[in-house]
Amino acid sequence: MASLDPVTLAVLKGRLEQIADEMDATLFRSAFNPIIAEAHDASHGLYHKESGETLIQGKSGLPVFVGAMSFAVKMVIDKVKSENITLHPGDVFVFNDPYEGGTHLSDFKMVRPFFYDDEIFCYLASVGHWHDVGGNVPGNYNPVATECYQEGMLIPPVFLYREGVLNEDIVAILQSNSRLPGSLYGDLNGQVSALDLGDQRLTGLLSVYGQDIVTSALVELKQSAAKLMASYISDLPDGTFSAEDWLDNDGIIDEPLKVGLDLIIKGDQMTLDFSRTASACAGPVNISRSTCIASCYVALKHIFRDVPANAGVLEPIEFVIPEDSLLSVSRPKPVGGYTETILRVIDVMFQAISEIAPEMTNGCAYGTINALSMAGHRKNGARWVMFSFFGGGHGGHPLGDGLNHGNAPISTATIPPLEILEAAYPIAFTQWSLRPDSGGPGKNRGGCGAIYEIELLEEKADVFLFGERGKYAPPGVVGGKSGALNKFIYPDDNGEDTSPPMVSKMVGIHLDQGQRVRLETPGGGGYGNPLERDPEKVAEDVRLGYVSPQAAATHYKCSVSDDGVLDAPDTERMRGNA
C-alpha cells in the first residue's frame, strides 16, 4: 500500500468529502419532502467493502447517521454473504430496518456496491427521512405505539435495482403503504440520483489517482482519527465519572425512564457503560444498540471537535449496553421516538465530561425535537400531512451563551422555514418567536427556546405530538442552572386550553378551522455560576427580552428596570462572592 505525503492526503480527503457533499446537495435539491429538502434530514457517505465502517461522510448530513449507516451497510454485507448473492454494477438495496440498520422506520436507506475494475471498491449509501411510511399516525411519530408495526412499514434489505433495472414491484409496495405516495416517489428518486452522482464522481477520482492511492488515503484517514481520539482521551484523568438523566415517560405508562452513564477513562481508552439505564419499555422511546452507539459518536464529536468523521473515532471506545436496556432493543419493540432518547444519551455524555473537563463541554440543549404532525383532507378530498420538528435553546458553553432557537444537536439539519410550511399546508403560524426566561441561568446563559402557535385554515385536522423535557428540564453544567420545561397547549372538546396528560406526548387531538395549538420549547442549560455573569450582560438580556427583570433579580441578583437599565451593580456579586 502506498505511503502518502501530507499534501496528497489532504487533497484526497477534500476530494472524497466533496463527493459525499455533492451527494447531499443532489438529494436536498431534488427531494419532494420538506424534511429532506429544507431541513436536510438525510446523509450520504462511503463505506468499507467488508466491515461497512464509515470511510467518508458529507458535512451537510446528520452526524447521527455516521454510526448508524455503518450498521446499515454491514446489514447488506451480511445478507450478501449469508445468501451467497453475487453483486453487479447497478445493484441498489433499499430498506428501513431500524434494529440492525439503526434509527427508525421513517429513515429509508439505499446501499449500492461501487465497482471499479470489476471489483467492489466500497459501498455508497444514502439515507433520508421520508414524509410518511404508513403506521397508525400520519408522519409516523406515534407516541402510543407498543410495537413497530404501529409505526409504519418495515422493509428488510431488498433489491430496488438489479444490474441497473428498477424493480417496479418494490416501488409499488412502498407507495401503496404511504399516505403520500407522490412525496415518497420523489424522495426515492432523489436518493437514487445521489447514488448515481457518487458513482460518477468516485469513478473519476479513481481514474486520476488509482485504487492504491485512494485506498491508502482512506486507511490513513481512519488511523489518524483513531490516534487523535486516543490522544484526546489520554489527556483526561483516569477514573469513573457518572451522570444520569430522565425521559418523561414512554407514552404508555407515566413513569420516568433513567438513562445512566458511567464514563470510564483508563489511559487512552474510554468505556461508556450504560448498565444503570432503565430496561426496555412498552412505548416508542426505545432505541437499538446501533442507534445508541451512533448517538455516542455524535456526543464525542461535540466534545472532541477536531476529530474527523469516520469510523476511527470509535476505535478507542468500548460500549457496555445491556441487551434488556431501552438502549438495545430488537423487533418488535417500538423505536419511533428514537430522537428523544439519543438526545438524552448525548446529555449524559455532556454531564459526565463536565466533571473532568469543563472546558470541553456545555450545558445540555433543549433535548426534544417536538415532532408535531397535523393531517386532514382538503376541500377537493386530497390528503395532506404536515410533519415537522421544532427548535429550542442550546446550552451555555465555555466561550459564551448558548444558541437561541437552534436545531437539536444530533444534526446539522435546519428547522423548516415557516414560509415553506405555510405554502405547503393549510396552516398559519400566528406566533414564531423566542421564549423569554427559557434559557438556563449561568455565567454563560443557555439559549432561549421558542414559541410556535399554529392555526388551522382547513375545516378539520388531527394533531399528534411526540416530545420530551416536559418534566425534566435540560440541565446546566459547572454550576449552571436548568432551562425551562417543554409546554404544549391545545383546545379540549370545550375549546378551553389544556395540556397532554402525558405532558409531552399526545395523539388524537381534533382541531376545527380557526383553532390553534401552541408549543413553548425549552431553553438550554446554563454554564457556570449565574452569580459570576457580568451584570451588563444581564441588563442586555433584559433589553433584548431574553430575560425578564424578575428573573434577573432571582437568578442573577441584579436589579434591572423593564427597559433594561442596570441599577448600581453589586461588585461583590460580580466577584461571585454573593
| Per-residue pLDDT of the chain in tens (578 residues, 90 and over written 9) | 567 888 999 999 999 999 999 999 999 999 999 999 988 889 999 999 999 999 998 877 666 776 788 999 999 999 999 999 999 999 999 999 999 888 999 999 999 999 999 999 999 999 999 999 999 999 999 999 999 999 999 999 999 999 999 999 999 999 999 999 999 999 999 999 999 999 999 999 999 999 999 999 999 999 999 999 999 999 999 999 999 999 999 999 999 999 999 999 999 999 999 999 999 999 999 999 999 999 998 899 889 888 887 888 899 999 999 999 999 999 999 999 999 999 999 999 999 999 999 999 999 999 999 999 999 999 999 999 999 999 999 999 999 999 999 998 886 778 889 999 999 999 999 999 999 999 999 999 999 999 999 999 999 999 999 999 999 999 999 999 999 999 999 999 998 999 999 999 999 999 999 999 999 999 999 999 999 999 999 999 999 999 999 999 999 999 998 888 888 655 555 544 44
* Dihedral of the alpha carbons of 493, 494, 496, 502, in degrees to the nearest 10: -30
Residues 416 and 407: beta-carbon distance below 8 Å: no
- As a whole number of angstroms, the distance between CA 472 and CA 285 comes to 15
Cell numbers representing residue 210 in the block: 488509482
Residue 87 in domain: yes
**Residue 561 lies inside a defined structural domain of this protein:** no
Domain count, the chain: 2
Task: Please check whether residue 284 lies inside any domain of the structure.
Answer: no
What is the pLDDT at residue 577? 45
In 218-367, beta strands by DSSP E? 239-247, 257-266, 269-273, 317-320
Is 290 within a domain? no
Using the Cα atoms of residue 434, residue 368, residue 40 and residue 226 in order, give the sign of their dihedral. Answer: positive
Cα separation of 571 and 378, whole Å?
62
Query: Is residue 46 in some structural domain?
Result: yes
Q: Which residue range is the domain that position 162 belongs to? A: 6-226
Q: Of 166, 196, 226, at which residue does a domain stop?
A: 226
Q: Is 293 part of any domain?
A: no
Residue 158 in domain = yes
CB 247 within 8 A of CB 468: yes
The reply to whether 546 falls in a domain is no
| Distance from C-alpha of 190 to C-alpha of 198, rounded to nearest angstrom | 12
Alpha-helix residue ranges (DSSP H) falling in 59-180: 64-82, 168-176
Report pLDDT for 574.
52
C-alpha atoms less than 13 angstroms from C-alpha of 261 in its C-beta half-sphere: 30
Domain boundary among 203, 226, 249: 226
- In sequence order, the β-bridge partners of residue 460 are 512
What grid cell was written down for 17?
468529502
Domain boundary among 183, 205, 226: 226
Query: HSE (CB half, 13 Å, CA atoms) of 439?
Result: 34
Side chain identity, residue 376: G
Residue 317 β-bridge partners: 270
